[in-house]
Structure formats: structure tokens, C-alpha cells
Structure 1
Amino acid sequence: MSSQGQFEQLAVSIAALGRDDLKRRIKDFRGRFKLDFSDDYLDSISLDRLRHILLAALINAKTR
């Protein structure tokens, strides 16, 4: 990430997402690597874990 402010903005925007939006963004993620999670798995994990997965993917995509 290029700056602390951009990281905070990204983290806040992800924190505001609900389960359905998080799942959709994870399933639709297009980066250098594919996120391949089943709906059953995504339904079984906590909101915090969903947020962590999406944030980590987006940070990794922006650092390269």
C-alpha cells in the first residue's frame, strides 16, 4: 500500500460491508491470483475472517 491514509480508507470501506457484499467481492476478485472459496466455506466463517481475506487480497494486489 502506498500510504497509511489509503490503507485506512480501504479498511474502513471493507469494515462497512455486510456478509453478502464481502462474499460477492471475494468471489469476483480479479488479481494476480484467484480466490477460490466455496459458498459453503464463506458462509461458515465469521465476518471478521471474510473482511481479513478481502483486505489481504486487495493489499497484495496493490503492492505489486
Structure 2
Amino acid sequence: MTIRTTRTTVSFANPFVLQGLEGTQPAGEYVVVTDDEQIEGLSRIAYRRVATLLQPPARSAPQLLIQF
């Protein structure tokens, strides 16, 4: 099983709410990490998405908790 990981930075101009994340998320730059696994047994290379993670920006130095 081959896993392909992609990291992308996205920018939000306004605060937003996502189900599963606590509270309103601030505007700013977020890192999106996606994991895709290769589908074996096909005549060409194909992948399926198995995970997508949104990493919020750090709010303060003492805060060590990161939500994914």
C-alpha cells in the first residue's frame, strides 16, 4: 500500500465554523494535509483519499493543544 501525502496552505479572509471543531475559527492561513492511498490492481495508477486534516494556526505560545 502506497500513501501519498500532500500539504497545502489555504487562506481564509473571514472567521468560520466547521462541524467537529470547537468554536469559531479565526481568519488566517491554515495548513491542509491530505493522505491518498494507491488503488492496486488497476491498469493505470489511481489514488483514493483516506484522510484530510485542517491544522489551525497557533493562537498563542503557551497553548500547546493543536486541533486536527
Q: Same fold (TM over 0.5)?
A: no
Question: TM-score, normalized by length of structure 1?
Answer: 0.26
Between the two structures, name the one with larger relative contact order (CA 8 Å, sep ≥ 6): 1
Larger radius of gyration: 2
Larger helix proportion of the pair:
1
